Amino acid sequence: MYRQMYYAANSFASNKKKAMKRFTNKVVFITGGSRGMGAGIAKRMAAEGAHVVITYVHSADQAKQVVDAITKTGQQALAIQADNASPNEINEAIEKAVATFGRIDILVNNAGVYIGKPLAEYTLEDFDSTMSVNVRAVFLASQKAAQYMNESGRIITIGSNMADRVAHATGSLYAMSKSALIGLTKGLARDLGNRGITVNLIQPGPVDTDMNPANTALADVLRSGMAIPTYGQPEDIAELVTYLASEASWYMTGASLTIDGGFSI
């Protein structure tokens, strides 16, 4: 209900925006862009005029669907198979994107993993896997992409509201990794601010994707703790990404923005 009211109220404004695309000829690189929030972000950025590069690990068919959907709109798109757990594959994917498009204007660190277990059952492999994808890959991708960014570059990372509130057991590793992104975002903002590059963090709560569907018993529990008892959609996260990627957000950097229907309050 809430989402329908929002989009109905903004339909006229959306139609006006079609003639005023904010990212015409910009190049956006999105890790984990074949499904869920990543796919939603990719399509939204393309609708605003951007050329889009996405990475994927196993979802080749879904990645192709995203690319096809974007190219049908007249924008260019490229899908690259790259595992965020591999430093070499991250760097190679960014270099391939630059070789194709000449630069990267906007980096969206979206890829992530969740390993939920009781504390006693976590292994060292679980720790290394979580940190390599959720933290190390964000650092490496940001470091590499920044080399090819001009002034007004944007780095946007998708974290989690679990950085601020862990509402259930079995989330220790995930929460730790997402909390680390807060410090990394602040540090990168300091490092890159003098170049006009902004760095910000989005912390979503429950969003209806295949990894966290809105039609399960767990979803009912999560909704009971939200001020707005409704799951978000990938489009909701994409809307915030477009703001942070735009010129309108030029004075915002080092920020952590929670978007979770009030779950964290």
Residue 145 resides in a domain:
yes
The CATH number linked to 122 is: 3.40.50.720
Residue 195 resides in a domain:
yes
| DSSP code of residue 228 | S
Residue 15 resides in a domain:
no
Q: How far apart are CA 151 and CA 141, in angstroms?
A: 18
Residue 88 resides in a domain:
yes
Residue 51 resides in a domain:
yes
Residue 8 resides in a domain:
no
- Output the DSSP codes for 45-69: HHHTT-EEEEEESS-HHHHHHHHHH
Which is catalytic among the residues 174, 231, 243, 251? Answer: 174
The three-state (H, E, C) secondary structure of 233-256, written as one string? CHHHHHHHHHHHHCHHHCCCCCCE
Supply the pLDDT for residue 10. Answer: 55
Residue 265 resides in a domain:
no
Token pair, residue 196, equals: 């006009």
Q: Characterize 190-217 residue by residue with b for buried, 16 or more Cβ atoms within 10 angstroms of its Cβ, and e for exposed.
A: eebeeeebbbbbbbbbbbbbeebebeee
What pLDDT tens digit does each residue of the chain (265 aa) get? 545 545 555 554 455 445 579 999 999 999 999 999 999 999 999 999 999 999 999 989 999 999 999 999 999 999 999 999 999 999 999 999 999 999 999 999 999 999 999 999 999 999 999 999 999 999 999 999 999 999 999 999 999 999 999 999 999 999 999 999 999 999 999 999 999 999 999 999 999 998 899 999 989 999 999 999 999 999 999 999 999 999 999 999 999 999 999 999 9
Supply the pLDDT for residue 8. Answer: 52
Supply the pLDDT for residue 6. Answer: 52
Supply the pLDDT for residue 211. Answer: 85
Supply the pLDDT for residue 20. Answer: 74
Supply the pLDDT for residue 12. Answer: 43
- Output the DSSP codes for 75-112: --EEEEE--TT-HHHHHHHHHHHHHHHS--SEEEE---
The answer to whether 122 is a known catalytic residue is no
What kind and span of H or E run contains 257? strand 256-259
Supply the pLDDT for residue 13. Answer: 47
Token pair, residue 43, equals: 């399509």
Token pair, residue 25, equals: 């000829």
Q: How far apart are CA 129 and CA 123, in angstroms?
A: 10
Task: Tell me how many domains the chain contains.
Answer: 1
Residue 264 resides in a domain:
no
Domain residue limits at 106: 25-259
Query: Secondary structure of the chain: what % helix, strand, coil (to 5)?
Result: 50, 15, 35
What kind and span of H or E run contains 41? helix 36-47
